[in-house]
Structure 1
Amino acid sequence: MKKIISNLLLIVFLLSFNFAYSWGTTGHRVIAEIAQNHLSGKAKRHLKKIIGQEKLAYWANWPDFIKADTTGVWKQSEQWHYINSEPKTNIQTFTESINSQQAPNIYTQIKIFSAQIKDKNTSLKDKEIALRFLIHLMGDAAQPLHVGRAEDLGGNKIKLKFFGENTNLHSLWDTKLVDFQKYSYKEFAGVLDVKSKKEVKQIQYGTLEDWLYDSQKQANSIYSNSVADASYSYDYNYKFESLLERQLLYGGLRLAKILNEIL
């Protein structure tokens, strides 16, 4: 009986783990690795002062791992990973919408952590914590359903099957599509990070508001082409593989741009 209870508890834990995490460990490390490849010499020197020889990928998942903390120290950070917004028709109305939200969210925190890292008066320890969050949240900003809709919790309430396994739309995009590609994070970063310098600059163009709006537009496409209670397999991957790759690449290049600007 004890063994059965233990197994059930393990299953519950694993399900909650999959529900709560974003991009999965592989996706976040792909984004961090791509960003690492595009850091300026100055940014690398400043990063060395903050995290030594550690790579961005090493810290890419820390803000998810601390969700397991039982002291409550990081509980307030759970709402920093996303922002809810109804579909907007243009960047102006979208920007007005996210600026009107009072609660801390991915938009407010990326700005706050960027400012802390840039501020010469911020201690090295506080800069390190801010950097850990910035690496991760910029990855979350590229996951379209982290700029999703409140009524379905960014796709978490939209149940479906992927290769016969019960999941939801958010988890499908967080982990299952990435894992289906069967790359290590370094392999995935390597096959995606092949753009010319001109193309990289085009992807990096714009502001945080522009990038979040871009993610929301991609979320709208995902919502329109994903049916609740449907059973997907190769067909879904075929339809969305290119968008998945786009978002991982864009997340990495845009993270690099912010780090190069603030360091």
Structure 2
Amino acid sequence: MRIFSLLAIPFLLCTPAQAWGPVGHRITGAIADENLSGVARAHVRLLLGAEDLAEAATWPDDMKSDPAEYWQKKAGPWHYVTVRQGDSYQSKDAPPEGDAMSALDGFTATLRNPKSSIEDKRLALRFIVHIIGDLHQPLHAGGGDDRGGNDVKVNWFGRATNLHSVWDSAMIEQRALSYSEYAHWLSRLISPEQVIDWSDPAPSVWVGESIALRKTIYPADASISWDYAYKHRSEMDDRLKRGGIRIAVYLNWVFDPGTGTVPAKQTK
């Protein structure tokens, strides 16, 4: 029996915020796996072997504990974007190391470059799967004034935490489902019309959606529980579903040899 939902909350709230938590990222990866084209699936298998996209989706977060400078200094900002003004992303708001949008561009170029090594392509693929998931978490398109909700202190069912962690993991873990169960539930609810509607590989579209949602999820009261979860659960599920479909759509585009167009670039 899985009755750990509320009991586990004190432990998961102590973990660092990292976009979707492991379960959320695996959900998007599992949904993506079901929607890959034959060509994309073959390329993924060549690079990852038996590792599926659900496993690959958490790898960049797993590597945050690596003491190497690449992980401790360079790669940190690649999990989010900052939108200081307006409703659309502008690259001028990115730190010197770049951000999720610039990293996505760079890793895409690596995957599409026939001269890239297998090791570099494997790293790029894992990051792409992860970054696309990140860009669908609304607080990873932050306004630059509260560290994506990390500075917004809340009490989730009486436990002190922050808004970012609630969206990363707490609302997902509250369901007491494994990632595969959750992904299966969500996949059954994705209609063919939605797959068609969401099949836009332009990252600016995904970020615009996250910005719009982010503006609606800050609670008026710091004490949040069932009412907040009920109000926003369907929105969270929607972002997970879209994230999974967009990962597949993007990889299908990357690995399709007949596709020469590039998704719309970020605003300069």
Give the TM-score taking structure 2 as reference length: 0.85
Determine the structure 2 residue equivalent to 1:10. none
**Identity rate, percent:** 35
Q: In the alignment, does 2:178 pair up with 1:180?
A: no
Q: Which amino acid aligns with 1:203?
A: W
| Closer/same/farther in 2, CA of residues 78 and 17 from structure 1, 3 Å limit | farther
Q: In the alignment, does 2:193 pair up with 1:198?
A: yes
Name the CA distance, whole Å, in 2 between partners of 1:252 and 1:99.
28
Unaligned runs of 5+ in 1: 1-13
Determine the structure 1 residue equivalent to 2:44. 47
Aligned with residue 85 of structure 1, among 73, 83, 86: 83
Determine the structure 2 residue equivalent to 1:139. 133
Name the CA distance, whole Å, in 1 between partners of 2:78 and 2:227.
33
CA shift for structure 1 position 102:
5.6
| Closer/same/farther in 2, CA of residues 72 and 38 from structure 1, 3 Å limit | same
| Closer/same/farther in 2, CA of residues 83 and 100 from structure 1, 3 Å limit | closer
CA shift for structure 1 position 198:
2.5
Residue range with higher mean Cα deviation, 241-250 or 116-125: 116-125
Q: CA RMSD in A?
A: 1.8
Checking the alignment, whether the CA contact within 8 Å between 2:17 and 2:168 is kept in structure 1 is no
Determine the structure 2 residue equivalent to 1:247. 239
| Closer/same/farther in 2, CA of residues 172 and 87 from structure 1, 3 Å limit | farther
Q: Secondary structure at the match of 1:152?
A: coil
Q: Secondary structure at the match of 2:160?
A: strand
CA shift for structure 1 position 17:
6.4
Q: In the alignment, does 2:148 pair up with 1:154?
A: yes
Determine the structure 1 residue equivalent to 2:260. none
Checking the alignment, whether the CA contact within 8 Å between 1:87 and 1:220 is kept in structure 2 is no
Q: Deviations over 1:18-76 (max 9, x none)?
A: 22322111000000000000000011111111111210111111111111112333121
- 1:30-45 → structure 2 map (5 Å cutoff): 30-45=27-42
CA shift for structure 1 position 174:
0.5
Q: In the alignment, does 2:235 pair up with 1:235?
A: no
More helix, by proportion:
1
Checking the alignment, whether the CA contact within 8 Å between 2:198 and 2:246 is kept in structure 1 is yes
Determine the structure 1 residue equivalent to 2:58. 61
| Closer/same/farther in 2, CA of residues 99 and 86 from structure 1, 3 Å limit | closer
CA shift for structure 1 position 151:
1.1
Determine the structure 2 residue equivalent to 1:7. none
CA shift for structure 1 position 125:
0.8
Name the CA distance, whole Å, in 2 between partners of 1:205 and 1:48.
24
Name the CA distance, whole Å, in 1 between partners of 2:125 and 2:49.
13
Give the count of matched residue pairs: 242
Determine the structure 1 residue equivalent to 2:4. none
Name the CA distance, whole Å, in 1 between partners of 2:152 and 2:12.
15
Give the TM-score taking structure 1 as reference length: 0.87
| Closer/same/farther in 2, CA of residues 200 and 257 from structure 1, 3 Å limit | same
Residue range with higher mean Cα deviation, 112-121 or 35-44: 112-121
Q: Which amino acid aligns with 2:206?
A: W
Q: Which amino acid aligns with 2:220?
A: V
Checking the alignment, whether the CA contact within 8 Å between 1:23 and 1:178 is kept in structure 2 is no
CA shift for structure 1 position 207:
1.3
Determine the structure 1 residue equivalent to 2:264. none
CA shift for structure 1 position 227:
3.0
Determine the structure 2 residue equivalent to 1:11. none
Determine the structure 2 residue equivalent to 1:212. 207
Aligned with residue 221 of structure 1, among 202, 216, 219: 216
Residue range with higher mean Cα deviation, 68-77 or 33-42: 68-77
Checking the alignment, whether the CA contact within 8 Å between 1:147 and 1:219 is kept in structure 2 is yes
Aligned with residue 129 of structure 1, among 120, 123, 129: 123
Q: Secondary structure at the match of 1:160?
A: strand
Residue range with higher mean Cα deviation, 152-161 or 103-112: 103-112
Q: Which amino acid aligns with 2:187?
A: D
Q: Secondary structure at the match of 2:215?
A: helix
